Amino acid sequence: MATHVKRAFKYRFYPTDAQAAELSRTFGCVRKVYNMALAARTEAWTLRRERVNYNDTSAMLTVWKKTDELAYLNEVSSVPLQQALRHLQAAFTGFFAKRARYPRFKSRKKSRRSAEYTTSAFRFQDGRLTLAKMAESLDIVWSRPLPEGAQPSTVTVSQDSAGRWFVSILVEDPAVGPLPVNGDAVGVDAGLDHLLTLSTGEKITNPRHERRERERLARAQRELARKAPGGGANRRKARRKVARIHARIADRRRDALHKISTRLVRENQVVVIEDLTVRNLLKNGRMARAISDAAWSQFRSMLEYKARWYGREVIAVDCWFPSSKLCSVCGALAEKMPLHVRAWTCGCGTTHDRDVNAACNILAAGLAVSACGAGVRPQRRTPGGQSATKQETLRREP
């Protein structure tokens, strides 16, 4: 029997005052346990060169609960506390595998407020979800149905900086699986004038969500800056207003990227993109805001996990490949291609739209990688030296 993909369905819910108080206590205890375990593991290694694992921290938690100072940890469900220790273990595993930085302490003001419950700590029956230590079920807005007959394996409750409450339900989704194989492939060139340009000639408009809200956001941030520091009610209200605007921008951006990535993965067997190092591109101070708003990294992440779901392939072409300067018809390499040049004519007589030409070259290079497994690097040099790529151009553009 085939194993289905596990998928998280996220919904907004509206807790009662009692539920909100219980969840807030749980968030605080989760943060406390995580920080104490991190401190214990760090101290053990620093002072005694001793490695502490999950089982050790679980035993520590049992001891902590028996002390007078930490007796309040017994007032919340024990499952989210154990899950916090598992998350810390996963963070250390990523660090030792050199996939992530050393785990950091959770901040009361800045860290994500969340708690994870496994099957022993919640009840899901007839579409009603009840968490441990709660008498009433959560008032969830079922914006889309769960898969028929779905049984959640974990439930994660969170509260964002805008004060909204969410529950994420992890279930097996039988509807997610390999799609019928087709021979379609598309190259995708990321940009700012247009968010994406496809090798088919289609250009997807850049919604510029942050720019549309910039004036309102600036006004809210000025109001926050005028409030006296110290955490008073007026300052909290102003901070919440700023957070709501940021949340609205992020929601709209995520929704647009989900729709685009899903369509590309469903319609094409192979999607070829550029392997842009966004972190380096953000060093261009004049364009950093627009690049962040475009969210190219988030788009790539969506493409990759959806491709795994549906049996598609995503190929990343080396960022140094001169896609914009290479003629997709004859292969000639232009000597210069400043960012303001949006159309150019090759020596072979072909007039190119800069972005469409780049997408066609990205597609051709990606298919070459798929066929022979070779890396994609600049194949030619101009008399003046190595060609500049999009990354170099974006970094240097005033």
In this structure, are 18 and 94 located in the same domain?
yes
**178 lies in some domain:** no
Domain assignment present for 247: no
Residue 159 and residue 264 in one domain: no
DSSP structure string for 309-369: HHT-EEEEE-TTS-TTTB-TTT--B-S---TT--EEE-TTS-EEEHHHHHHHHHHHHHHHH
Residues 154 and 280 in one domain: no
Considering only residues 71 and 280, tell me which one the structure prediction assigns the higher pLDDT: 71
Amino acid identity of residue 79, one-letter, is: V
Domain housing 196: 185-206+260-396
Residue with tokens 């919904």: 11
Token representation of residue 216: 């309102």
pLDDT value of residue 386: 39
pLDDT for residue 320: 82
Round to whole Å and give the CA distance between 72 and 67. 9
Q: Which of 126, 151, 173 is the last residue of a domain?
A: 173
Give per-residue pLDDT as tens, 2-21. Answer: 567 899 999 999 999 999 99
- Quote the pLDDT of residue 379: 39
**Strand arrangement of the beta sheet that strand 313-317 belongs to:** 203-205, 194-198, 185-190, 270-274, 313-317
CA-based diameter of the chain, in Å? 83
Give the pLDDT confidence of 332-386 residue by residue, as tens digits. Answer: 888 888 888 888 888 888 888 889 999 999 999 888 877 665 444 433 333 333 3
Final residue in a domain of this structure, among 119, 150, 173: 173
How high is the mean pLDDT of the chain?
Answer: 88
Assigned domain for 374 exists:
yes
Give residue 42's pLDDT: 96
At residue 228, the pLDDT reads 86
Q: Does pTM top 0.95 for this prediction?
A: no
Position 250 in a domain: no
Question: How much is the average pLDDT of 38-63?
Answer: 94
Residue 35 located in a structural domain: yes
Same domain, 27 and 64: yes
Query: Which residues are catalytically annotated?
Result: 189, 274, 355
What is the count of structural domains for the chain? 2
Question: Domain for residue 191, yes or no?
Answer: yes
Instruction: Please tell me whether residues 152 and 36 are part of one structural domain.
Output: yes
**Do residues 128 and 152 both lie within one domain?**
yes
Is 39 part of any domain? Answer: yes
pLDDT tens digit string along 250-309? 999 999 999 999 999 999 999 999 988 888 888 887 889 998 999 999 999 999 999 999
**Same domain for 197 and 115?**
no
Examine the domain organization and report whether 17 and 159 are in the same domain. Answer: yes
Share of the chain above pLDDT 90, in %: 69
Q: Answer yes or no: do 126 and 195 share one domain.
A: no
Predicted pLDDT of residue 342: 84
pLDDT at residue number 152: 94
Instruction: Give the angle subtended at the CA of 182 by the CAs of 145 and 257, to the nearest 5°.
Output: 45
More confident residue, 331 or 23: 23
- Mark whether 195 and 93 lie in a shared domain: no
Residues 279 and 390 both lie in one domain: yes
In a domain, 74, yes or no: yes
Two tokens, residue 97: 């595998």
Condensed to tens digits (0 to 9), the pLDDT of residues 166-225 reads: 999 999 998 888 999 988 999 999 988 899 999 999 999 999 999 999 999 999 999 999
State the first-to-last Cα distance of the chain, in angstroms, to the nearest integer.
58
pLDDT, tens digit (0-9, with 9 covering 90-100), for 72-106: 999 999 999 999 999 999 999 999 999 999 999 99
If asked whether residues 30 and 148 sit together in one domain, one would say yes
